[in-house]
Amino acid sequence: MNCYRRCYSDPPQECFFIGSPIQYLTSGGGSKAWRGVFTPNSDKLQFFHDGQGFMSLQLTEAAANIVFYDVFGQELYQWSVTKTLHAAE
């Protein structure tokens, strides 16, 4: 999968796509430093949670399944994608 993952950002959790085939996933440390600080823009943000939680990421060679949960374990957002594999020539 073409994916960029970072897990050290202070904004709690976000998942966004910026006009490329690469998906960007961010899961922060649950800091309250950025709580309430969110300015919508043209980056096509798919999901943003302004609170604590965690992300489950399951990857295979051809698929990715991502689930964001709140601090109580309740599912907030789920996203899956598959990629067509091509035989080597």
pTM score, whole prediction? 0.59
- Rounded to whole angstroms, how far apart are CA atoms 43 and 24? 11
Task: Parse the chain into domains and list their residue ranges.
Answer: 3-82
Q: What's the pLDDT tens digit per position in 11-57?
A: 444 444 445 666 666 666 555 555 666 666 666 666 777 777 788 88
- Which residues touch 35 (CB under 8 Å, ≥6 apart)? 12, 50, 51
Higher pLDDT, 89 or 33: 89
- Which residues touch 36 (CB under 8 Å, ≥6 apart)? 50
pLDDT at position 84 is: 77
Higher pLDDT, 24 or 73: 73
68 confidence band (pLDDT: 50, 70, 90): confident
Query: Are residues 38 and 50 in contact, defined by beta-carbon separation less than 8 angstroms?
Result: yes
pLDDT at position 85 is: 73
86 confidence band (pLDDT: 50, 70, 90): confident
